[in-house]
Amino acid sequence: MSQNTHIAIFASGGGSNAESIIRHFNAVDDIDVSLIVTNKADAFVVERAKTHAIPYYVHTKEDVDNGQLLKMLSEKNVDFIVLAGYLKKVGDDLIQAYPNKIVNIHPALLPKFGGKGMYGMNVHKAVVAAGETISGMTIHFVNEHYDEGQIIEQHQCELDEVDSAEDVAAKVLKLEHAYYPKAIEKIIRQA
Ligand code: GRF
């Protein structure tokens, strides 16, 4: 690879995954996290971007509709997009501009517990309500349909009968932090 690969991380919330990804790539020479994109100006991920001196971009709905977001990504020479707790649907223009270069993490074992409304604690509550004995996380490519892109990696954790949705969330998040950054690096290197 002659030139560095530039990643943009899209996040809407606390950004603990963004943090683990930033830290991972701080120690990698040829891949950088170049931009944090969020739809929420008050999301804690913005503080993380500031702490790490990474440029961030808070987009509006108009920015998505009029191509401004895509323009920003191209201005920053973004090659690869990582969704990490991003709660907006990715526009078709981005999907077409970044074929097989957008990945997402879902906090359950897809195809179970995916689709509309299945985000955040809703997922873990549904897992507990269904009496599942395992849960985990899924890394997948993003296509035009929620949670339906090709699965790249899944990792599992065992659940105890007494686990609350919060307990499940904590177990799954631990897997996310451990495996998502490495998976992203692997996907970029294989591309
Ligand atoms: C993670 O569980 C991720 O799988 C889901 O949203 C959560 C984001 O957590 N899509 P954080 O903002 O990275 O802490």
Distance 109 CA to ligand 1 centre (A): 14
**What's the distance, CA 181 to chain centroid?**
10
**Phi, psi for residue 7 in degrees, rounded to 5:** -100, 140
- Compute how many other C-beta atoms are within 10 angstroms of the C-beta atom of residue 20: 19
Domain-wise residue ranges, the chain: 1-99
Is 50 exceeded by the pLDDT of residue 8? yes
* Residue of minimum CA distance from atom 3 in ligand 1: 85
* CATH of the domain spanning 1-99: 3.40.50.170
Ligand 1: atom nearest CA of 15 is 12
Compute the distance between CA of residue 17 and CA of residue 83 in angstroms, rounded to an integer.
9
Task: Choose which residue among 19, 38, 45, 105 to substitute to test ligand 1 binding: the one with the highest number of ligand atoms within 8 A of its C-beta.
Answer: 105
Compute the distance between CA of residue 92 and CA of residue 67 in angstroms, rounded to an integer.
11
Ligand 1: atom nearest CA of 18 is 13
* Residue of minimum CA distance from atom 5 in ligand 1: 85
Average pLDDT over residues 15-24: 98
Ligand 1: atom nearest CA of 172 is 2
Residue 2: what pLDDT?
52
Residue 75: what pLDDT?
96
Distance 93 CA to ligand 1 centre (A): 24
Q: What residues are labeled active site?
A: 106
* Residue of minimum CA distance from atom 14 in ligand 1: 16
DSSP 34-98: EEEEES-TT-HHHHHHHHTT--EEE--HHHHHTTHHHHHHHHTT--EEEESS--SPPPHHHHHHS
- Tell me whether the omega of the peptide bond preceding residue 55 falls within 30 degrees of 0, making it cis: no
Distance 166 CA to ligand 1 centre (A): 13
Task: Choose which residue among 9, 12, 17 to substitute to test ligand 1 binding: the one with the highest number of ligand atoms within 8 A of its C-beta.
Answer: 17
Residue-wise pLDDT for 109-165, tens only, equals: 999 999 888 999 999 999 999 999 999 999 999 988 767 799 999 999 999 999 999
Residue 143: what pLDDT?
86
Task: Choose which residue among 137, 146, 173 to substitute to test ligand 1 binding: the one with the highest number of ligand atoms within 8 A of its C-beta.
Answer: 173
Average pLDDT over residues 26-40: 97
